[in-house]
Amino acid sequence: MSLFSLFQNKSSDLSPNEFREKMNSDLNYTLLDVRTSDEFTEGSIEGAKNLDFFSARFKEEVLKLSKDKNCYVYCKSGMRSGKAVKFLNENGYTAFNLKGGISAWK
């Protein structure tokens, strides 16, 4: 892993306050919940689109998102969303991970 990619991953992890502030100041974004549909129905952040990280079609579906919008991504604890953000950033998106996930958001 290069030093740049290490820095890139760290800089895309945002605390709940940073995540909220950045998203609130962004006029055109996608909010993505990468938990399972069962987890999503238990409660989500308003306006979130659900794409299950464990789905066989996840990569195919997530690459359909607009690259013109920043992606704010979360899961339960920040692990799945961290991997999703890394994948998105490697594919030309600007994506941010909610550090600690929705558990930290509440």
Catalytic-role residue among 75, 84, 98, 102 = 75
Catalytic residue check, 71 = no
Q: Give the count of beta carbons closer than 10 Å to the beta carbon of residue 13.
A: 17
pLDDT tens-digit readout, 14-61 = 999 999 999 999 999 999 999 999 999 999 999 999 999 999 999 999
- The pLDDT, as a whole number, for residue 10 is 56
- Put simply, whether the predicted model's pTM sits higher than 0.75 gets the answer yes
**Poorest-pLDDT segment among 2-16, 51-65, 72-86:** 2-16
What is the identity of the amino acid at 91? N
In the predicted structure, residue 5 carries a pLDDT above the cut 50: no
pLDDT at res. 106: 78
User: What are the structural domain ranges in the chain?
Assistant: 3-105
Give domain 3-105's CATH number out of 3.40.50.410, 3.40.250.10, 3.40.50.720, 3.30.450.20.
Answer: 3.40.250.10
Q: Look up residue 88 and give its DSSP letter.
A: H
